[in-house]
Structure 1
Amino acid sequence: MAQRAKHGTLGKVARPRLYEQLMEQILGYVEAEQLGPGDHLPAERDLAERLGVSRATLAQALVALEVLGVVDVQHGTGAVLVYRPAIATVLRQLREHQNRLPEIVEARSTLEVKLAGLAAERRTDADLAAIEHALGVMEAEIKDGGRGAGGDELFHEAVTAAAHSGVLAQLMAFISEMVLETRIESLGQPGRPERSLQSHGLIAAAIREQNPVAAAAAMQAHIDLVSDVELLK
């Protein structure tokens, strides 16, 4: 009986996702090569070939490492090591991040949907110009081969400013670092920068037309889009 009870406490061990396995291998390579801050990882094409995976799959692992601050991935320069952590530390931070993501999405839905509606009601011509400028910056970044992260950040800042709500702006500032995590993840998904820019355009159009209901709906649709990330699957 005791033996059966003991066996009854056992459960299936979750199989690590492929990108998690790749993270471990990349960190193992960093350790073996004794890479330090500022050193470059091999080019993505080379790294993918060595690991025997597609570049899209490798990109998920690099995005996860970027979100955790281990590497900095820039268009044209590839992945640069920021610091060399212990593998166990990174995997623990990844679990913590995965657990935190749904709450970040929840906070964004609560705050940014309201901000978009207020922006449509209260925006000035100067606010609208700032929003349009952010769209242009993001479009230019994407055309240049980047993710559009700079323009994306400018856009959401411009919408927040256009709402003219000091308290909501302070709340957005409070979660800005956490929002940055979701921004990196989302724009690291294949094809996501273009789709994100398109949804920004719909939000901007509703704000331009001073339609708060449409602006709020467009912002919610945008958050639903950008929250579809591999780390939540």
Structure 2
Amino acid sequence: MAERIRPVARPRLYEVIVEQLCDHIATRNMQPGERLPPERELAGQLGVSRASLSQAFVALEVQGILSVRHGDGAVLVRRPVEGTVIRALREHADRLPDVIEAREALEVKLAELAASRRSDDEMTAIDRALWVMASEITEGDRGVSGDELFHNAITEAAHSPLLARLMSEIAGLIRETRIESLSQSGRPKASLGGHRRIAEAVRQRDSMAAGRAMAEHIRLVSDVALLRPQVAD
């Protein structure tokens, strides 16, 4: 029986916007450190919503092409290589479910161990990470640094060298999902709330509650636009 021809995959809107942004960078010979036009202006020029443009910004930030920070707008970090950006985006989307699965398997156990093994100094480091993330969010940022500090502090408090090494091996992949997740509307505050529930369980040395809170947190932060069905702009 002859193999059926596969249907042509329709590009997602954010992929089209990414291609337009890369073309904008190339035709204007933009150099690292230069800023793209303001988001509202750029969305108007492209004829798309700011939400769709923001998703394209995040896709480029994940690849290290743009840096998007509150008050600074989108700043070029490195020039995109023609023909590789969309392929990298699709490879990222393909591996995202596996990264989420690995995070849940590792971090739930780390939270359980942290609750039973943490020292007072390590609890202080966890609280410090919560403070950093809360401060970032108050200033209008996404809380990426504080989020990373928190999960690192939980890993340190677990005192499991092998699990810590496994976490370090997928740290780059986790950073991709962290940026993507914290760019979702309302996500930074929701994520901080999840961190606080984990921290309280660790403070009380309740391993079951810590693992349960971490599992709920990972499920929350794993809900990203990239994995949702495409909708019209």
- Shorter-chain TM-score above 0.5: yes
1:154-233, aligned counterparts within 5 Å? 154-233=149-228
Return structure 1 stretches of 4+ with deviation > 6 angstroms: none
| Length-normalised TM-score, structure 2 | 0.93
Q: Which has the higher mean CA deviation after the structures are superposed, 217-226 or 166-175?
A: 166-175
* Alignment match of 2:114 (pick from 103, 113, 119): 119
CA contact (8 A) 1:24 1:87 kept: no
Deviation, 1:60, is: 0.5
* Alignment match of 1:57 (pick from 33, 52, 55): 52
Per-residue displacement from partner, 1:208-232 (whole Å, max 9, x unpaired)? 1111111101101111111111122
1:133-172, aligned counterparts within 5 Å? 133-172=128-167
Alignment match, 2:99: 104
Q: Secondary structure at the match of 1:106?
A: helix
Q: Does 1:30 align with 2:25?
A: yes
| Length-normalised TM-score, structure 1 | 0.93
Q: Which has the higher mean CA deviation after the structures are superposed, 79-88 or 109-118?
A: 79-88
Cα distance in 1 for residues equivalent to 2:187 and 2:70 = 15
Q: Which amino acid aligns with 1:205?
A: E
Cα distance in 2 for residues equivalent to 1:87 and 1:191 = 34
Q: Does 1:95 align with 2:90?
A: yes
Deviation, 1:84, is: 1.9
Deviation, 1:63, is: 0.2
Q: Which runs of 5+ in 1 are unaligned?
A: none
Q: Which amino acid aligns with 2:187?
A: R
Q: Secondary structure at the match of 1:88?
A: coil
Deviation, 1:87, is: 4.2
- TM-align CA RMSD: 1.3
Query: What percentage of aligned pairs have identical amino acids?
Result: 56
Q: Which amino acid aligns with 1:40?
A: R
Deviation, 1:202, is: 0.8
Q: Which runs of 5+ in 2 are unaligned?
A: 229-233
Q: Which amino acid aligns with 1:16?
A: P
The number of residues matched between the two structures is 227
Deviation, 1:11, is: 3.2
